[in-house]
Amino acid sequence: MTELTKLTISEIRAGLRAKDFTALELTEAYLSEIEKANGKINAYVAVTADKAREMARASDERIAQGEARPLEGVPVGVKDLFATEGVHTQACSHILDGFKPPYESTVTANLWNDGAVMLGKLNMDEFAMGSSNETSYYGPVINPWRADDSDRDLVPGGSSGGSAAAVAAQLCAGATATDTGGSIRQPAAFTATVGIKPTYGRCSRWGIVAFASSLDQAGPITRDVRDAAIMLKSMASVDLKDTTSVDVPVPDYEAALGQSVKGLKIGIPKEYRVDGMPAEIEALWQKGIDWLRDAGAEIVDISLPHTKYALATYYIVAPAEASSNLARYDGVRYGLRVPGKDIIEMYENTRAAGFGREVKRRILIGTYVLSAGYYDAYYVKAQKVRTLIKRDFDLAFEAGVDAILTPATPSAAFGIADETLHNDPVKMYLNDIFTVTVNMAGLPGMSVPAGLDSKGLPLGLQLIGRPFDEETLFRVAHVIEQSAGRFEPKRWW
Amino acid sequence: MSVDTETVKRVAKLARIAIDDEAASRMTGELNAILGFVEQLNEVDVAGVEPMTSVIPMAMRMRADEVTDGNKAADIVANAPAQADNFFMVPKVVE
């Protein structure tokens, strides 16, 4: 039975078609694994066992009728940020205690319409704010990967830590996730999984609990590049209920795999070579460059001069938008309510008790930079710098670059409850230094596992593409994956 | 630019988050670390640069002004901590 959970989405597709096993057997195998492992990994905050079995049975019927849809019978986990009808949806926050939406997010509706099976909701940093999945109301997620020389619990990255850990620990065949500053790509890099944040507007944000509306984007985390292509094709759609959703046809991303990268121009931005960057990361980047050059791509040095300001810009724009989006959590219509002598006190008590420290920090920063007297100096200024950051990329693409290659993270996964990171918020934020630029510019970005560090921990490479050119990312990522190989954690749980 | 504890309390009031003195003082340090970090944007020359208001260049899509949804009052109050007759119940708002 355990062998079934080893299969990738494309292998499941073939296996179900060949009647090697049933969708119900596959779902039962996953439910059994989750029961054994979740106490140690803490990837799931809600398991929808009955619903999963019901969906799997329906998939088996369709397969028997010869009517299998693209994801028929594939068991997936859903980040707790997506509204799933009648099912726990709390963005892993205390303030949304008990919330069960009476509607389904567009992205998950797309997956169920394509036959996927829902195993449950996945742990995440509260309101998607974090890079380690340590801010969740449900406690941290433990990375299935451990350093060779240590038993220490490591973070899986964040905010989509539950999604990445579940995929890496084979507790689902694939997972949905979201990315606002790196929350798909960084945990993917920390867990040797593939994560893609598509172009802003590619996937509908309707039904996704909003953090920063001009940055949020949904995407899949999977075990390999092919699976990511399969899942993204189902997740993406134009949606009239999301005015930022763009009406561009969804291509068959899988068809891009195996296409030659001969003659493609791959940009290497010098500003991503930061001070104090570990030699191992630099070496991995160089390996990636060599693999692509060997495959016939042309390597081009480029400059993205405003790179170094991206993180500061992000930490003004994102909290500002968050302070607005999180104003709705007031104890009136849903979730936690803490009483007060009057309505203002009720708001203040509810929000003080309901939000965690990191969320409060970001709401306060956001409120401050939007407040009278500071709006121009901070928010407007940041939005102007954002234009410059985007322009850097536009110029590089106009000059003929097809994709950009950078490291995904400045380090491998770090320890849970790391003292220095906890006492210094800015140090934690630096985890996103290579990823935030991509959200600022609205571009597609993918993290591909590329190697292990000297302690045996995963490291990823990031590919950044032109708007709506995810196909080129899949094409290039496949080449990197073929060269680098697949990496799986040694089971300690 | 940096903030003092009084400013943090004022901002917390704007954000409707109750904050005691100990938390305010801790937050002041943390917020100042972040504000110190974002100071670097002062180096950037943004003369003549428009703020980015649209991530992907597109005009906002409008829809026909038609009623296509509704009659779901029960759904809407279903998650409420307190409700009666499809109204949200809250402590007295007006004296």
pLDDT tens digits, one per residue of A99-114: 999 999 999 999 999 9
Chain B positions touching A201 (Cβ under 8 A) are 55-56, 58
Distances (CA, A) of A400 to A300, A392, A393, A458, A471: 10, 13, 11, 32, 16
Tell me which residues of chain B, numbers 22 to 61, contact chain A at a CB-CB cutoff of 8 Å.
27, 30-31, 33-35, 37-41, 43-44, 46, 49-53, 55-56, 58, 60-61
User: CB distance A334–B60 less than 8 Å?
Assistant: no
Mean pLDDT score, B64-85: 94
Residue B95: predicted pLDDT? 67
Contacts of B43 in chain A (CB under 8 A): 309
* CA A88 – CA A108 distance, rounded (Å): 14
Band (pLDDT 50/70/90 cuts) for residue A418 is: confident
% of chain A at pLDDT higher than 70: 100
Is the per-residue pLDDT at A130 higher than 50?
A: yes
Out of A77-81, A410-414, B11-15, B56-60, which region has the weakest mean confidence (pLDDT)?
B56-60
Mean pLDDT for the stretch of residues A221-233: 98
- Give the model's confidence band at A379: pLDDT under 50 very low, under 70 low, under 90 confident, else very high: very high
Rounded CA gap, A323 and A27, in Å? 39
Q: Which CATH number fits domain A2-259: 2.60.120.380, 3.30.200.20, 3.40.50.10490, 3.90.1300.10?
A: 3.90.1300.10
Q: What is the mean pLDDT of residues A348-364?
A: 97
The predicted-structure confidence for A432-450, as pLDDT tens digits, reads as follows: 889 999 999 999 999 999 9
ipTM for the complex?
A: 0.95
pLDDT digits (tens, 9 = 90+) for A288-341: 999 999 999 999 999 999 999 999 999 999 999 999 999 999 999 999 999 999
Q: How far is CA A421 from CA A139, A159, A184, A428, in A?
A: 17, 15, 20, 5
Please answer yes or no on whether A240 and B63 come within 8 Å at the CB atom: yes
Contacts (Cβ under 8 Å, ≥6 apart) of A466? A397, A402, A403, A443, A444, A472
**Residues of A whose CB is below 8 A from B90:** 332, 343, 346
Q: Which domains does chain B have, with CATH numbers?
A: 5-42 (1.10.20)
d(CA A248, CA A462): 24
The predicted-structure confidence for A460-472, as pLDDT tens digits, reads as follows: 999 999 999 999 9
Q: State residue A2's pLDDT score.
A: 62
- Residue A5's pLDDT band, with cuts at 50, 70 and 90, is very high
Task: Return the pLDDT at A1.
Answer: 44
| Contact between chains at B44 and A345 (C-beta distance less than 8 A) | no
**Strand arrangement, sheet containing A265-269:** A44-47, A117-122, A75-79, A174-179, A217-222, A194-197, A445-452, A458-465, A403-407, A265-269, A298-302
Measured between CB atoms, which of B17, B43, B44 is closest to A363?
A: B17
Classify residue B82 by its DSSP letter: S
- What does the pLDDT read at residue A88? 98
pTM for the model stands at 0.96
* CA–CA dist A275, A265 (Å, integer): 26
Tell whether the model's pLDDT for residue A419 goes beyond 80.
no
- The CA distance from B30 to A426, in Å, is 9
3-class secondary structure, B37: helix
Distance CA A25, CA A57 (A): 10
Do B80 and A333 count as a contact with CB atoms less than 8 A apart?
Answer: yes
A58 CB burial (10 A radius; 0-12, 13-18, 19+): middle
Q: Delimit the domains of chain A by residue range.
A: 2-259
Dist. CA A318–CA A315, nearest whole Å? 6
Residues with Cβ within 8 Å of residue B54, at least 6 apart in sequence: none
Considering only residues B95 and A347, tell me which one the structure prediction assigns the higher pLDDT: A347
* Residue among A89, A359, A364 with most chain B CBs within 10 A, to mutate: A364
Q: What is the pLDDT of residues B20-34, one digit of tens each?
A: 999 999 999 999 999
Contact between residue A101 and residue A55 where contact means Cβ atoms under 8 Å apart: no
